[in-house]
């Protein structure tokens, strides 16, 4: 045990000199968090590590959420034990890590994430350069430098995310005035905001995400540099931005998040084509995106499933018309123009937010369905109804109509058709045919005639 105590972590050879700060300590009477509210698995991980002679705390989002009487998504533990030392304490533990080495302790379906105290990055430190590195703009590429509890608090993003709770003593350790900021509902970066955003530009997205989720303000100094630094997101790997985008839009506060992303100029670096469409046609694109996000929030609130495919299909749809027209102007027939525009827009978006194939394929199907929903003659309507993507395609049609696209009552028609009996359905199809004849509409589409791309009736692209 004693040996372990001394081994608990080795400090890097040369550490950033900074004065040792003592945390504010809140006893159980000074805060509202109760030990019984914490996942018992998280408590048992902390206790086990403490018994083995290490420091260990519950930390981060879960402490913040419990103080705000919200349900934590998951539990994180911070400890002085190295990942290998943590693994040695638990049978059900696995060391994982891309950017950081972490330990996952598994309890059935619950995973407690255990991270070793880490330090901020020494700006110039050759000895540590194999552990941590930055690129030219100051972005952190790797960081596995272990440190003390105080180091660990200082390297976290926001003060409200740097609170440590010890379930044994029931005290909260507050190194950054996080409790004050929770009380005042403020998102405040720890340290110099500009530098912290440069180290990791994703913190700008996180600021907006927490502001929306918690209904907090971004503190003035933390808010100020964002718009100017927004383009730094261009340098973030697209897979990480995809993960972050899902957190932004599938956290139940997508509509508010979208407004904040616009306010801080963070939407354009994530969705360049959609941002351009918003500029060309703010009324239509803005309504369509906002309605899609409001629907997503509502579904989450009702416990219904949401798919990233529908979300991305909606976010990018307003970018299609301009692209289709461009291709048609270069002489491409309408159907191939639509296909190519869809392909190009998704491909370009993947350069920013690597959307996995399992979502891009259904996105295309939802879009393709928009071309097929108006064609209902003969057996087509019934065939469409049987298509596994019908429901998403139909919901998408209603979304387009809600944004003002004129579809000649197509949404209502499909709503009725789904509810109709077999004989009523046959009548509906027959009436369609006679309407076409009465209006002299051609049975077959003319070849090569100029059409207006997706959302034929969408307000003109520019």
Q: Answer yes or no: 166 catalytic.
A: no
127, 54, 57: which is closest to 84 by C-alpha?
A: 54
Residues 73-102 that bind ligand ATP (CB under 6 A): 73, 76
Q: Quick check: 226 and 202 in contact, CB under 8 A?
A: no
Q: Binding of Mg ion at residue 61 (CB under 5 A)?
A: yes
Segment contacting Mg ion by CB under 5 A, of 44-52, 59-67, 372-380, 384-392: 59-67
Q: Answer yes or no: 76 catalytic.
A: yes
| Sign of the alpha-carbon dihedral angle for 421, 422, 423, 425 | positive
- CB nearer ligand ATP, residue 23 or residue 411: 23
Catalytic hit among 150, 151, 157, 174: 157
Q: What is the spatial distance between Cα 133 and Cα 127, in angstroms, rounded to a whole number?
A: 11
Segment contacting ligand ATP by CB under 6 A, of 156-164, 297-305, 318-326, 341-349: 156-164
Q: Answer yes or no: 462 catalytic.
A: no
Q: Binding of ligand ATP at residue 203 (CB under 6 A)?
A: yes
Beta strands in 323-458 (DSSP E): none
Residue with tokens 């989720």: 213
Q: Could you give the 3-state DSSP secondary structure of residue 283?
A: helix
- CB nearer ligand ATP, residue 116 or residue 161: 161
Instruction: Give the nearest distance from C-beta 461 to ligand ATP in angstroms.
Output: 37
Segment contacting ligand ATP by CB under 6 A, of 49-57, 195-203, 333-341, 374-382: 195-203
Beta strands in 45-179 (DSSP E): 56-59, 75-79, 93-96, 102-107, 110-116, 132-134, 140-143, 163-166, 171-174
Number of residues that bind ligand ATP (CB under 6 A): 11
| Binding site partner of 291, from ligand ATP, Mg ion, none, Cβ cut-off 5-8 A by kind | none
| Binding site partner of 157, from Mg ion, ligand ATP, none, Cβ cut-off 5-8 A by kind | ligand ATP
Residues 49-78 that bind ligand ATP (CB under 6 A): 60-61, 73, 76
Instruction: Give the nearest distance from C-beta 306 to ligand ATP in angstroms.
Output: 17
Q: What is the spatial distance between Cα 89 and Cα 41, in angstroms, rounded to a whole number?
A: 14
Q: Could you give the 3-state DSSP secondary structure of residue 13?
A: coil
Segment contacting ligand ATP by CB under 6 A, of 155-163, 271-279, 407-415, 420-428: 155-163
Q: Which of 82, 159, 161, 281 binds ligand ATP (CB under 6 A)?
A: 161
Q: What is the spatial distance between Cα 160 and Cα 209, in angstroms, rounded to a whole number?
A: 13
Would you give the DSSP letter of residue 118? B
- Structure-derived torsion over alpha carbons of residues 74, 79, 81, 86, reported in degrees to the nearest 10: -20
Q: How long is the chain?
A: 462
Binding site for ligand ATP (CB under 6 A): 60-61, 73, 76, 156-157, 161-162, 200, 202-203
Binding site for Mg ion (CB under 5 A): 61
């Amino acid at each position: 045990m004693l040996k372990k105590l001394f081994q608990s972590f080795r400090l890097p050879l040369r550490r950033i000199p900074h004065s040792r700060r003592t945390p504010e300590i809140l006893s159980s009477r000074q805060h509202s968090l109760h030990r019984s509210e914490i996942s018992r698995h998280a408590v048992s991980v902390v206790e086990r590590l403490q018994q083995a002679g290490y420091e260990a705390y519950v930390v981060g989002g879960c402490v913040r959420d419990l103080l705000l009487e919200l349900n934590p998504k998951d539990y994180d533990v911070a400890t002085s034990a190295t990942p290998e030392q943590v693994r040695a304490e638990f049978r059900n533990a696995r060391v994982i890590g891309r950017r950081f080495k972490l330990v996952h302790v598994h309890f059935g379906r619950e995973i407690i994430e255990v991270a070793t105290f880490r330090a901020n990055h020494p700006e110039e430190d050759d000895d540590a350069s194999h552990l941590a590195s930055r690129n030219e703009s100051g972005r952190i590429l790797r960081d596995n430098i272990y440190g003390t509890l105080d180091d660990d608090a200082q390297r976290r993003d926001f003060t409200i995310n740097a609170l440590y709770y010890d379930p044994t003593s029931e005290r909260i350790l507050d190194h950054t005035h996080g409790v004050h900021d929770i009380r005042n509902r403020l998102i405040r970066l720890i340290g110099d905001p500009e530098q912290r955003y440069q180290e990791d530009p994703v913190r700008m997205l996180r600021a907006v995400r927490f502001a929306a989720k918690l209904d907090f303000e971004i503190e003035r100094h933390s808010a100020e540099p964002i718009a100017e630094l927004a383009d730094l997101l261009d340098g973030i790997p697209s897979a990480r931005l995809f993960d972050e985008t899902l957190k932004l839009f599938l956290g139940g506060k997508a509509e508010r998040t979208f407004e904040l992303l616009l306010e801080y100029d963070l939407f354009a670096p994530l969705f360049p084509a959609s941002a351009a469409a918003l500029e060309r046609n703010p009324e239509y694109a803005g309504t369509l995106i906002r309605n899609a996000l409001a629907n997503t929030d509502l579904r989450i609130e009702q416990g219904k499933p949401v798919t990233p495919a529908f979300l991305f299909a909606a976010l990018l749809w307003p970018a299609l018309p301009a692209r289709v027209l461009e291709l048609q102007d270069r002489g491409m027939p309408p159907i191939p123009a639509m296909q190519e525009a869809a392909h190009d827009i998704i491909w370009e978006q993947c350069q920013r937010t690597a959307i996995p194939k399992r979502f891009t394929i259904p996105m295309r199907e939802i879009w393709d369905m928009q071309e097929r929903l108006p064609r209902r003659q003969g057996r087509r309507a019934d065939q469409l109804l049987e298509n596994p993507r019908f429901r998403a395609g139909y919901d998408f049609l209603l979304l387009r109509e809600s944004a003002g696209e004129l579809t000649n009552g197509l949404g209502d028609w499909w709503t009725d058709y789904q509810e109709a009996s077999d004989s009523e359905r046959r009548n509906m199809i027959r009436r369609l045919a006679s309407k076409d004849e009465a209006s002299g509409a051609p049975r077959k589409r003319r070849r090569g005639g100029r059409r207006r791309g997706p959302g034929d009736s969408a307000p003109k692209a520019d």
